Amino acid sequence: MVTINSENISLNDNHKTVDEIKLLIDRYNNKDLKPNEFKTKLIHYAKKTGFINNTCRKQAWHLLINSPDDSSEEYSEDKDQYKSDQYYEQTRLDVIRTLKRFPPNYSDSERSQLQDELIVIIMKILIKHKELHYYQGYHDICLTFLLVLDELCLPVIDSITMSHLKYFMEPTMEKTRDSLLYLMPLIDCINSECAEYMERGGVGHVIFALPWFITWYSHVLDNLDIILRLYDLFIVSHFLMPIYVAAEIVNYYSDEVLSKDCEMASLHQYLSYLPTEIDDKTWEEIIKRALYLIKTHPPNTLENLNFEWKIKCENIENSSDQLYVSPRFRKDKNKNNNNQQELVKQQSNKLSRIVFWGVTITVGGLAIYLWNHSQAIDLNKFEILKSKNDLLRQENNQSFFFYIVFLLLRKLMNSYSSSTPSSEILFKRFRLWKRQYLHVVIYTSLFWIFLDVFFIMLFSDCTKQVLIPCSSSASLKDKPVLIDVDPIEDSRVRRHPKFQVDKFQDKTQTISQRNNVFNKKKYEKSKKVSSGGFISKWFGSDSESNPSSWPGEGGRAVVIPSHLKEEAKKRFKENQFNIVASDLMALNRSINDQRSSKCKSHEFPPDLPTTSIIIVFHNEGNSTLLRTLTSIVGKSPIEYIHEIIMVDDCSVDREYLKGTLEEFVKELPVQVRILRNTNRLGLMKSRLKGAEIATGDTLTFLDAHIECSPGWLEYLLYEVKKDR
């Protein structure tokens, strides 16, 4: 990893840089500099320090970007044509949403004016270039240019669109996706450990960096000064420069990345918000590193790097039967480098039990032997022995061990006290001990031994069929561990609750019973009001849990069996996630309760408002959608769910979203209504359509691929009640 020294640019240096840029522009305007020489020097400032303030930036951007002449003939002025364009409505919604939060310190009237100007600018460019397709995030870039250049921004945005952004505006996002995939090879070049860790953690697709790339970080950052500093760099660089910056961001925070759990949810969440935590000084360091990286690995070498990375990924995938468990890496880098990976092989469940019971029987046998041995000891015959010959002449040879102990005690006491009578008194007291005292000690020890055995066998994972073998937690605390996981057997896969309704063997049993989604006893209990007038905490979980060996139980990662890996790859395109892993999990699979003890013990008033839960889905995976419904019903107080409204946003070629889904919802203990759009309306319009027919006291909008935790609904309704 290359480290480049970073120094703070002082205020005086900023003034000096601004003066130099102004002088450079004046010399160019006076024709004292040739265009090529002027542009080279201006690019140098853009990369090294940026243009510092908007006065210099406004002039520099115009001179750097070869913008077309702004003639009225090039851009349409027909407002009716704007509104009739296929992208007008989406553009308007995106602009309104963005201008509610950004830029800061603007009045409502100023925001309204910016909104109208920005919509017109975007529509003019899209109408002029019919081959371009609008994407969400394009408006963020246009807004930044508008804030700096005002009314002069249109030709500049046009030029930047055709030179840098047109690759994002094709009919499909394939080229954008392919360009984004260069990120992992670049990370591998500068920090292979971090790249491999991310690949194992399931974020090798680098979706977290998509908004960084296509919006030039303006969608994820709120600091306008940092955004403009990055724009100074991007407009004079290759269009892939945001990828190089992203690689150095991950590299700079690699220790923090390695400290996260090696699973997609944790890594994706951290990486998605990573740019928001970077300060000005760190950004300058990252930019310098990115400039060095693009110099050592220019864009024309990325294809070769990507090819090498794919080969490396295949090697990682070949070891996918080994579940990579994240360590908590030390922040101290020296200690972190000393950590070595260990391969802990899964121990046989039967062997663990044999060894454990063998140790238990041995300890018990030793205790019984000591007890029997104590019966033969006559403590009244103990004498103070002063020579080795006296010891050998003892008639009671069975007490040899105890005599040795007493001799050692006497010698120890004599070493600490020069007076012989004190040691003699001590051993006289030993003679007075009765056999009953020794019996009490032995009986108590035996009792605690068997009590310990009972609790250890009750709570130890060694006696259960689990994927992770018993090992010292201390040995795994600071080290990355590779746990060898056997592929899931076919019989185990077939045993857990499946989502295909027509494959259930017991046709007389309802779907909710087969999937154990609703516990009637707890439901009845939850309706009882305590003497204090509050409902006891509703746990929402099943009394009978699934076997821990089932895929995904307890939130564990699912290991795809070798015979299903090809199917998993082929079906990934269906929903852009591993639908085979979802199909392997039970609909009512358990997930860890992350609430604190105070949250778990909180009680709510009985008169909470009801809610209508609205779920919009389009071509959703069967098992994920049914698991969403199962989770809602199983983890929620049923009396507060007024209804569930499902809006099918014109799903196609998914027959299971019709008959199978309708049969499933009939078995649920709540009212479920399914609306089906005849045309694709999108998420927001579909939600509004569901809200129009909702009759609950409140509205709750959920995605179609979620799982609820216990207590998720009560707190939401409680906050609503407090405001009423």
3-state secondary structure 580-635: HHHHHCCCCCCCCCCCCHHHHHCCECCCCCCEEEEEEECCCCHHHHHHHHHHHHHC
For residue 563, which of 621, 493, 483, 466 has the smallest C-alpha distance? 493
Domain limit, last residue, from 309, 337, 369: 309
Interior angle at CA 609, CA 607 and CA 614, nearest 5:
150
Residue 73 counted as domain residue:
no
Tell me, yes or no, whether 534 and 567 share the same domain.
yes
Domain of residue 42: give its range.
11-64
Cβ atoms of residues 255 and 331 within 8 Å? yes
Cβ atoms of residues 664 and 626 within 8 Å? yes
Residue 651 counted as domain residue:
yes
Residue 474 counted as domain residue:
no
Domain limit, last residue, from 309, 338, 361: 309
Tell me, yes or no, whether 49 and 97 share the same domain.
no
Sequence-distant (≥ 6) Cβ neighbours of residue 163 within 8 angstroms: 239
Residue 576 counted as domain residue:
yes
CA distance 490 to 498: 13
Tell me, yes or no, whether 161 and 180 share the same domain.
no
User: Which token pair is 309?
Assistant: 């990375």
* Domain CATH code at residue 260: 1.10.472.80
CA distance 538 to 637: 7
* Domain CATH code at residue 125: 1.10.8.1310
Tell me, yes or no, whether 436 and 493 share the same domain.
no
Tell me, yes or no, whether 189 and 299 share the same domain.
yes
* Domain CATH code at residue 686: 3.90.550.10
User: Which token pair is 134?
Assistant: 């609008």
CA distance 52 to 20: 11
**What pLDDT is recorded for position 391?**
44
Tell me, yes or no, whether 162 and 182 share the same domain.
no
217 CB burial (10 A radius; 0-12, 13-18, 19+): buried
Tell me, yes or no, whether 500 and 617 share the same domain.
yes
For residue 330, which of 271, 259, 263 has the smallest C-alpha distance? 259
Interior angle at CA 73, CA 68 and CA 79, nearest 5:
110
**What pLDDT is recorded for position 441?**
67
User: Which token pair is 356?
Assistant: 């454990």
Tell me, yes or no, whether 144 and 180 share the same domain.
no
Residue 345 counted as domain residue:
no
User: Which token pair is 95?
Assistant: 């602009």
Q: What is the b/e burial string over 559-569, where b = at least 16 CB atoms within 10 angstroms of the residue's CB? A: bbbeebeeebe
Sequence-distant (≥ 6) Cβ neighbours of residue 516 within 8 angstroms: 497, 542, 544, 546, 588
**φ/ψ (deg, to 5) at 645:** -110, 120
Cis-peptide into 547, omega within 30 deg: no
Tell me, yes or no, whether 618 and 494 share the same domain.
yes
Residue 322 counted as domain residue:
no
CA distance 190 to 626: 43
Number of domains in the chain: 5
Domain limit, last residue, from 444, 459, 474: 459
Tell me, yes or no, whether 622 and 682 share the same domain.
yes
Sequence-distant (≥ 6) Cβ neighbours of residue 436 within 8 angstroms: none
Distance of alpha carbon 615 from the chain centroid: 23
**What pLDDT is recorded for position 54?**
87
Tell me, yes or no, whether 627 and 694 share the same domain.
yes
- Summarize the chain as % helix, strand, coil (round to 5): 60, 5, 35
Antiparallel, parallel or unpaired: β 481-484 and 342-344: parallel
Q: Using H for helix, E for strand and C for coil, what is the string for 257-291?
A: HHHCCCCHHHHHHHHHCHHHHCCHHHHHHHHHHHH
CA distance 375 to 102: 87
Residues lower than pLDDT 70 in the chain: 1-13, 67-73, 317-360, 363-441, 443, 454-545
Tell me, yes or no, whether 615 and 720 share the same domain.
yes
Residue 315 counted as domain residue:
no
